[in-house]
Structure 1
Amino acid sequence: MTELPRITRRGALLGAAAVLAAPAISHAQSDVVRIGHLTPRTGFLGPLGEFAVQAAQLAAEEVNAAGGINGRKLEMLYEDSVNPQTASAKAERYIQRDKVSCIVGEINSASALAIGQVVQRERALFINTGANSDALRGSDCRKTMFHVEGQNSMYVKAVGRALVEKGLIKGKKAYALTADYAFGHDLLKVAKRFIDQNGGSIANEDLVPTDLTDFSPFLLKLRQARPDVVVVNLAGAQITNFLKQYSEYGLRFPVAGFGFDTALAWGAGKGNFLGTWPTMWHHLIDNPEAKKFTAEFRKRFGKPPENQAWGDYNAVKIIAKSMNDMKSTDPMQVVAHLEKGAKFDVLKGRESYFRARDHQLMTPMYAITALPPEKQTDPYDIFTSSGPIPGPDESLEAIASTPEEAACTFPS
């Protein structure tokens, strides 16, 4: 009979110390896949962040009801990104402490850049759902950062088609009001390029602080300048405040927005929404998948989803489907899967895919035009919409940036 080894008190203490020193592995952690949701929930972008969080919650519930991710429950973590510095710190904490499999969200382009720098360093995955800057798909692109949100070039070219048809570009002089931060500066650059290429010009331009609430000085300047069209490159609550005050001043110059979220028009109040604007998606799109999403969201939250909700909902669904298809949560495997042209139903009746060279989702957009005030009887159904842009017979890349407009070389 073999004698069992004798366990001394010193050996027992060393063994216990080894156990205590070993990394703690929670059984619960092994049963879940974590996604960290990070987006502004306060400040001038806060109204959009609320839609983003609600939509991500709904998507996660649907993923779990369908079996989760590789048989594991999807657990969502939520944080307010506030500003670029906070976004960077919270992204790092999500990855290092919370061991998330992916970060989803953001609206502020400067914050998205900060998160992109973190995920590049940590070799983690980030799906941007609300930051538009072309630079994020160009000079600031990252190998593990993908974009469900459209880029500024897509927004400008989508609404630009409608404006050309309305005769508001060629031979016209525009007055541009632009949000004074990364998104606005990039959008103005893209808008100027489009207007110049189509025979128009920006005769006047002003940068608007993101915390401004009183547009009186700018509205007085508009009245004096008498432009052919007012070009709105604002963001978040800026747009809501501008629309309210523009109506109050009784100005009648045509308004065209090059960046937009439908919730901001809803917030302006009855009869105050005007002009033509671009959007990634809207709640009046008529296909079975879009109608189902709209009905579920409205039932749950008492209002229809808007385009920011569309972005975060689809980002969570895309990640879950990709990880299930790959049978892996490894970020680099998911990156390879997305770069190979995996296609996704994103509630538009036409499948979308990520372009390999810059990780931008190739998907149709829409140009919406405000109904006359007397016809805005419903607080949400206050516009008419173009068909999908690009059209069904066009390449999805028809409105995206060209390599010359935004060149991406993924840093190592």
Structure 2
Amino acid sequence: MSEFYRFTRRGLLRTAGGLALASGLGAPSILRAQTSDVIKIGHLTPRTGFLGPLGEYAVMSIDLAVEEINAAGGMMGRKVELLKEDSVNPQTASTKAERMIERDKVACIIGEISSASCLTIAQVAERNKTLFINTGGNSDALRGKDCKRYMFHVESQNSMYVKTVGRSFLRDGLVKSKKWYSLTADYAFGHDLLKVSKRFMEVNGGNFAGDDLVPTDATDFSAYLLKIRDAKPDLVVINLAGNQITNFLKQYAEFGLTFPVGGFGFDTALAWAAGKGNFVGTWPVVWHHLLDTPGTKAFVAAFTKKYNKPPENQAWGEYVATRIVAQTVNEIKSVDSPAIIQHLEKGAKFDVLKTRQGYFRASDHQLMHEMYAVTALAPDKVKNQWDIFTSSAPVPGPDEDLEVIAATKEENSCTFPS
């Protein structure tokens, strides 16, 4: 019998209390999943609505990750049980997170794409002292004024997206003394991204010819396209989300507009849905299936074998987050959230399927890792429905600190409770 199982319940409670006091995190509400034969993980993500296409990849990926973890012996020799729900909207996400923690006794919650829903889940997680790993919410505010001690971010923040693709725009002469026209998703993610992109433009000598907020349920972009045509911008900036991007790209092609297009937030599934000839421009991504690394090749092969298509970058988020949790639990021999947080804050390194290992920045719990700018291939260069772009080298470069693309403390400050 392992050392873990020789502990008494009183000893476990005493150990957890000591860890909590030492870390300043407060005692956990319950030693979740340490008294059964399984370890439960909750997964919340949008599976309907404008973010639904991305959520489906997230679900497929976390299913694969849990299968692989269980095949390798689980966590601390125990099977991982996955509880999955459609988060729907911020209010529903909060209710389901509460139920997963209080009724189902999950060890942690992984997932989400909407920044607004991330915040409500994080509030529940903080109140119940349960780990939440955000895999899709980009808002800088989640790492700043809305940061929470029990929330970590595998997904990159908006500043990382902007600074990554911004290098390409600077290289191509699309910033200084240039004018941009932006369309921005009218919710927390979009508002935050517009703020960060305007900051980038101000620093680098450009300006906005116009910017419009677009309702998340909008499907007809003709009125916006007419305004773009009249403005004659040097770059059309797409700060939209989910299938908004797919719909816009298709209609942009139908209108026959030829102004350069780019974006500061993106998911490869949306390029695939737009398709050959409609997908144009340069965009930032956290990861893509064409990376030439051993970890990526193994992940892509396993995902493609199971689902008959390659994973997109939201799939990467779920897969990596779940592996991080498993590695941590097996290393520290505990599913107690304060113990996991303490371990992550000390700079533990993880294989994130790229050329360098990633780690969580202690100051705001953002995963530090490489990103990429992808550029659409010309239609006559596209060989299949998946490989429709070329990629930059990793950003930052090999001789740069991973944190150079992240928000500085002056740009976005996080203060955790003492």
The reply to whether TM is greater than 0.5 is yes
Structure 2 residue corresponding to 1:137, chosen from 143, 167, 182: 143
Aligned counterparts, 1:358-369, within 5 A: 358-369=364-375
Structure 2 residue corresponding to 1:57, chosen from 59, 63, 70: 63
1:158 aligns with 2:164: yes
Counterparts of 2:124 and 2:304 in 1: how far apart (Å)?
A: 35
Secondary structure, counterpart of 2:85 in structure 1: strand
* Structure 1: gaps of 5 or more residues: 1-26
> What corresponds to 1:259 in structure 2?
265
1:409 aligns with 2:412: no
Counterparts of 1:107 and 1:347 in 2: how far apart (Å)?
A: 21
Counterparts of 1:50 and 1:144 in 2: how far apart (Å)?
A: 25
> What corresponds to 1:206 in structure 2?
212
Secondary structure, counterpart of 2:269 in structure 1: helix
1:106 aligns with 2:106: no
The answer to whether the 8 Å contact 2:209/2:231 transfers is no
* Structure 2: gaps of 5 or more residues: 1-32
Secondary structure, counterpart of 2:274 in structure 1: coil
The CA RMSD measured in Å over matched residues stands at 1.4
Counterparts of 1:84 and 1:183 in 2: how far apart (Å)?
A: 13
Shift in CA distance, 55/239, structure 1 to aligned 2, threshold 3 Å: same
Counterparts of 1:193 and 1:33 in 2: how far apart (Å)?
A: 44
Residue identity opposite 1:43 in structure 2: G
Deviations 1:135-154 (A, max 9, x none): 00000000010000000000
> What corresponds to 1:35 in structure 2?
41
Deviation at 1:211, TM superposition (A): 0.3
Residue identity opposite 1:350 in structure 2: R
Secondary structure, counterpart of 2:43 in structure 1: strand
Aligned counterparts, 1:284-363, within 5 A: 284-363=290-369
> What corresponds to 1:90 in structure 2?
96
Deviations 1:193-232 (A, max 9, x none): 0011111111201000000011110011111111111011
Deviation at 1:29, TM superposition (A): 6.8
Residue identity opposite 1:281 in structure 2: W
Secondary structure, counterpart of 1:344 in structure 2: coil
Shift in CA distance, 28/398, structure 1 to aligned 2, threshold 3 Å: closer
Shift in CA distance, 281/92, structure 1 to aligned 2, threshold 3 Å: same
Shift in CA distance, 29/41, structure 1 to aligned 2, threshold 3 Å: farther
TM-score, normalised with respect to structure 1: 0.93
Deviation at 1:121, TM superposition (A): 0.5
> What corresponds to 2:20 in structure 1?
none
Deviation at 1:349, TM superposition (A): 2.0
Secondary structure, counterpart of 2:80 in structure 1: strand
Aligned length, in residue pairs: 388
Counterparts of 1:269 and 1:366 in 2: how far apart (Å)?
A: 20
The answer to whether the 8 Å contact 2:34/2:335 transfers is no
Residue identity opposite 2:280 in structure 1: L
Counterparts of 1:152 and 1:228 in 2: how far apart (Å)?
A: 22
Deviation at 1:28, TM superposition (A): 11
Deviations 1:255-285 (A, max 9, x none): 0100000000100122110000000000000
